[in-house]
Structure formats: C-alpha cells, structure tokens
Amino acid sequence: MHQEDARRIETSTQTLIIRAYMWIATEHRGDAVIDQQYRIRIRRGETEIDLQGDKAFVIEHLEILGKELPKAFEDEEVSRGPVTQKRHMRDRELQKLSLAEFYKERRPETKTQAVVTFAYWLTKREGKNEFKGTDIMSCFDEVRIPKPENVHDILGKLASGSKAHITPSSSKGHWKLTLTGEEFVENQLSEKKEG
C-alpha cells in the first residue's frame, strides 16, 4: 500500500513569497512501514527547488536552503533584466526618502497627480495594499501643501475610465493603486521631472 500526504506551506515576507509543498510517501506491507520518503518542493516565479529523501536528509538540506534562498531569489529578480533591475533599484532608493523628498522629486503639478503620487507612496513605501482618503489627506499634511476640497471626488475620478490609476478595493472606502497608476508615477512624472 502506498500513501501520500501532501501539505501546502506558504511563507511571505516583504521581499520573499514562497510556495512550498511537502509530501510524505509511506509504503506499508501489512502493519510494517517499509519505506518513508519526504519530499519538499519550493517554487517562486521561474525558480523551483525539489528535495526528496529520508527525513534527516530533507531537514538538513532545508536548513541550508533556508539560509541561501532569500539571496537566490533576490539574484533571480536582478537577473530578469533591465526593467526588474530598475524597479529593484527604485524600491531601494524609495526606502531612503521621506515623503516630502519623494514629492519634491516627482513634482506633481495638480492635486490629482499629487493623489496618485501619495497612493504610490502609501503602497510602495508604507506597504499598504489598500488605503483610505484619510491616508491621502495625511500625506498632504505631511508634505505641507494645501489639501483638495474633496479628496473622494479625486479618488473617484482616478478610479474611472479604461486607464484608471486606482481602483476601489473590496473594503468600503478603501482603494488600491493600479499598474497604470504605478507606471504613471514611475515614468510620466519622472520623465517630466527630467525634461
């Protein structure tokens, strides 16, 4: 008789998301266990690592991998090409800036552009997957620029159309930055800044 026990393990940190699957295959003859193999598969993006063997072997090599995996996955990101390298460098640079410095660097010309810039900051720098209008208003306070009269109108306009810069989230009154909004802040505002 052959049994397989599969468990899914998910680990997530700010920079590393790993999906791992563990199988324990047990072969029985009567009541006696003849063979027991452990197998762990770790996959992230294009990289996959598969460990299989007895329990001691898998645990020993998993500990070694635990020390090396974060660096391996970071190297994978950098090796994907100039776009990923540029984004990786931009993310590191963003961590060094204050909100006021970031705002000054991007130079949004309108309150609408400022709202997208703040949405980007909240998402990329503060790590918020979603934000509220009050979060945006706090950014205006922090940068010490005049607030819009109705930030919710601006958020609504930014969320409409085929090239929406933000989108409503599933939580009422919460918003998310779209890829279009991200690219606007990274490319169009920076191009204007350099031009």
Give residue 22's region: left, alpha or beta (phi > 0; psi -120 to 50): beta
pLDDT in tens, 129-186: 899 999 999 999 999 999 999 999 999 999 998 889 999 988 899 999 999 999 999 8
Question: What 3-state class would DSSP assign to 187?
Answer: helix
Measured in whole angstroms, how far is the alpha carbon of residue 121 from the centre of its chain?
A: 14
Residues 90-134 pLDDT 10s: 667 778 889 999 999 899 999 999 999 999 999 988 889 899 999
Report the SS3 class of residue 120: helix
Give 156's DSSP letter: H
28 — phi, psi (to 5°)? Answer: -115, 145
DSSP characters for 97-151?
--HHHHHHHH---SHHHHHHHHHHIIIIIS--SSEEHHHHHHHHHHHT-PPPS-H
pLDDT confidence of residue 63: 76
Residues 6+ apart with CB under 8 A from 186: 87, 90, 120
What's the CATH code, domain 85-194? 1.10.10
In DSSP terms, 11 is beta-bridged to: 18
CA-to-CA separations, 76 to 64, 81, 123, in angstroms, rounded: 18, 10, 23
Identify the top-confidence range among 68-72, 75-79, 171-175: 171-175
* Predicted confidence (pLDDT) per residue in 17-65, tens digit: 344 444 555 555 666 655 667 777 666 655 667 777 777 777 787 777 7
Output the pLDDT for position 187: 86
Tokens of 60: 């020993």
For the chain, which residues make up each domain, given as ranges?
2-80, 85-194
Two structure tokens written together for 23 = 């199988």
> Which pair of tokens denotes residue 107?
């130079």
Neighbours of 27 (CB within 10 A): 13
